[in-house]
Amino acid sequence: MKIQLKKYFESNPMVPSKLKSGPINNKMLGLLFVLGALGGCKNESKQSTMLGTDDAASKVYVAPGKYDDFYMFTSGGFSGQVGVYGLPSGRLFKVIPVFSQNAENAYGYSEETKPMLQTSHGFIPWGDSHHPSLSKTDGNADGRWLFINENNTPRIARIDLKTFTTAEIIEIPNSAGNHPSPYVTENTEYVVAGTRFSVPIGEKKDVPISSYKENFKGLVSLIKVDKETGRMSLATQILLPPFDYDKNRAGKGVSRDWSFFTCYNTEMANTMLEANASQNDKDYVMAVNWRKAEEYLKEGKATEMHTPYYNNHMDDGTQSAVTEVLNKQMILNPKDCPGMVYFMPCPKSPHGCDVSPTGEYIVASGKLAALIPVFSYEKMAKAIEAKNFDGDIQGIPVLKYDAVIAGEVQQPGLGPLHTEFDDKGFAYTSMFLSSEIVKWKLGTWEVVDRIPVYYSIGHLMVPGGDSKNPYGKYVIALNKITKDRYLPTGPEVCQSAQLIDISGDKMKMLLDFPTIGEPHYAQAIAADVLMKNNTRIYKIEENHHPYVAKTEKETKVERKGNEVHIYITSIRSHFSPDNIEGIKVGDIVYWHVTNVEQDWDVPHGFAVQGANNSELLIMPGETRTMKWEPKSSGVFAFYCSDFCSALHQEMQGYVRVSDKNSTAPISFSLNEQK
């Protein structure tokens, strides 16, 4: 006991230093101990220092009213969305709807947002979101946009980080399984994507599956990002052998002109990949020089392909999504473009492909490999110059393993997947099979620490860990399995994130919290970088929605054949108009609701009985439209569905629906006493 108490005293700054050494009177010790503990209870702000550095709770505690240090964006996986959390608290702030309809705020239900989910396959209400990627300036997150890929119907979305809303979605033609995506280059020149599944493309698409090697193609897509607006456009696509391209990262610093991809199924199997795609002892890391691709495109080396694809974006003025159908791709073939693409042999079905902060090291983790190979950019550049090749694949040179390898991390654990970096020259790799994070040193490749995670980790993330300047404070484990970690919720239990302190030599588990959907990957950014740009309201004078009513005087109800347009406003605590008549069964009614409030955090909701649709949730200064097709005559109530004010329960109205043959004219009013 004596030792324990002594230890406590030594680490306790409230104890006068002269008492910290030398023989200590037991009685005195006990008394001081009580005082110390009492002091800790009285003074919350001193609690963390009082209780010593081992106290996990104090490290993740964000006092009421205080802010977190980081925003964390996690992919929602099969929910199709993005989760926004605070770090270190793990508090969930928001779910940003991206690829899936979201009834909570009418994303994909309202007339304004429905076009965002239009694709060449029609309206798709669901997506599989995987890898959030923050826009970068000089290799560091700049807080402007967040990109995220959709795997199933290949698409990339851009989220505006001023409003935390989806601003644009571009479909990627000639692609399937948009998994190695959407990693941004050092200055967000491009968002880079690739095909996990190779498919037949171009004219000859209806082919036997057994003709895989001959007819199926892999592709890398370079999507140009406008510097000012962020608008995405497909610049070029690079034709590749029908491998599975798994993950990708842009280079930075010395390797800034390159993007690196892991490739598996270089066996080119089209069935039972579980066995047939693990036959080769080496697959590849592919290096793509996007700067060269840009030049070849300018030189006219590309051929055209014509597959229709969609690009949907929100128009800020009309607050409505605009769909464009495009039909031209510029295809580069590496055969005609020397120096653009190279393969580097890599052990056994590599998955993660991660680039160190300086851009010098490329870490590829083979799911089935017993080591982690680390490639050197400098050696790669030299090997290319010396033409140190081991043959080629469809015109793409294969570099010699020994010529490009910087080192191998031996016996790191089982099932290495992904690697992130800190600011002290260490790398952190997730191990799926052995459920752990392994810390190792760049340069010596030796494992220096490991920590178990619960359970079956996929990605991991260090805030800024993919950038030139990582914050070496935390690593977050993104786990696939939780089983017994939380109170059980039936057969479906959550996936999770675990926050681990990496500021010292040994990793320390701090916190464990559930996530929405599946957190494939996450990105984090310092709170102060984002907070200053935050939008609080939409200015009503800048609302150019075609059906806006900026004041109650502008409200009206118009009939155009069997279409009825209701220009209605909401303000605490009424709608204008709130009594509407003259609607008939068979009419298609559009409720254009403008929230005319100009006050932060005062959204209004709108719900009407019998709507085969979601509610609307309308931000201050915004107009949102619900389509309503009443099926029977009667009087139906509508109301505000987001508690807005003291008299929220009074915020209601009635709409009268008459028989099909009724001749009752349209009428509407607010507070007309008869």
Q: How many helices (H) and strands (E) does the chain have?
A: 10, 48
- Rounded distance between C-alpha atoms, residue 216 and residue 243, angstroms: 9
CB of 90 closer than 8 Å to CB of 497: yes
474 token code pair: 């935390």
Amino acid in the structure at residue 662: S
Q: How far is the CB of 226 from another protein (least distance, A)?
A: 42
- Rounded distance between C-alpha atoms, residue 409 and residue 393, angstroms: 28
Q: How far is the CB of 484 from another protein (least distance, A)?
A: 5
Closest to another protein by CB, 48 vs 652, is 48
Closest to another protein by CB, 27 vs 66, is 27
Work out the number of other CB atoms within 10 angstroms of the CB of residue 627: 16
Q: How far is the CB of 25 from another protein (least distance, A)?
A: 10
Closest to another protein by CB, 274 vs 492, is 274
Q: What is the CA radius of gyration of the chain?
A: 29
Closest to another protein by CB, 51 vs 398, is 51
* Three-class secondary structure of residue 350 per DSSP: strand
Closest to another protein by CB, 26 vs 649, is 26
> In the block, which residue shows the tokens 């155009």?
560
Closest to another protein by CB, 2 vs 532, is 2
Burial profile 240-255: b = 16 or more Cβ within 10 angstroms, e = fewer: bbbbbbbbbbbbbbeb
Closest to another protein by CB, 512 vs 622, is 512
Q: How far is the CB of 419 from another protein (least distance, A)?
A: 18
Secondary structure percentages of the chain, helix, strand, coil, to 5: 15, 40, 45
Q: Which letter does DSSP use for residue 154 in this model?
A: T
* Cα–Cα nearest to 474, from 11, 68, 188: 68
- The widest CA-to-CA distance across the chain, in whole angstroms, is 100
Q: How far is the CB of 47 from another protein (least distance, A)?
A: 7
Distances (CA, A) of 21 to 11, 16, 25, 475: 12, 10, 11, 36
Q: How far is the CB of 393 from another protein (least distance, A)?
A: 21
Q: Supply the DSSP string of 364-418, one letter for each residue.
A: EEETT-SEEEEEEHHHHHHHHHTT-EEEEETTEEEEPHHHHEEEEEES--SSEEE
Q: How far is the CB of 374 from another protein (least distance, A)?
A: 16
- Rounded distance between C-alpha atoms, residue 471 and residue 280, angstroms: 38
- Rounded distance between C-alpha atoms, residue 416 and residue 292, angstroms: 32
Q: How far is the CB of 279 from another protein (least distance, A)?
A: 6
Q: How far is the CB of 546 from another protein (least distance, A)?
A: 52
Q: Which letter does DSSP use for residue 47 in this model?
A: H
* Cα–Cα nearest to 328, from 202, 231, 241, 188: 202
Residues that bind another protein (CB under 8 A): 1-2, 4-5, 8, 26-27, 29-30, 33-34, 37-38, 40-41, 47, 50-52, 54-58, 274-275, 278-279, 347-349, 367-371, 411, 414-415, 433-435, 452, 454-456, 480-481, 483-485, 509-512
Closest to another protein by CB, 156 vs 510, is 510
Alpha carbon of residue 551 to chain centroid = 37
176 token code pair: 């399937």
Q: How far is the CB of 111 from another protein (least distance, A)?
A: 43
- Rounded distance between C-alpha atoms, residue 432 and residue 438, angstroms: 11
* H/E stretch holding 38: helix 26-42
Q: How far is the CB of 8 from another protein (least distance, A)?
A: 6
Closest to another protein by CB, 287 vs 431, is 431
Closest to another protein by CB, 126 vs 455, is 455
Closest to another protein by CB, 368 vs 526, is 368
Closest to another protein by CB, 78 vs 454, is 454
Q: How far is the CB of 430 from another protein (least distance, A)?
A: 13
Q: Where on the phi/psi map is residue 146: left (φ > 0), alpha (ψ -120 to 50), or beta?
A: beta
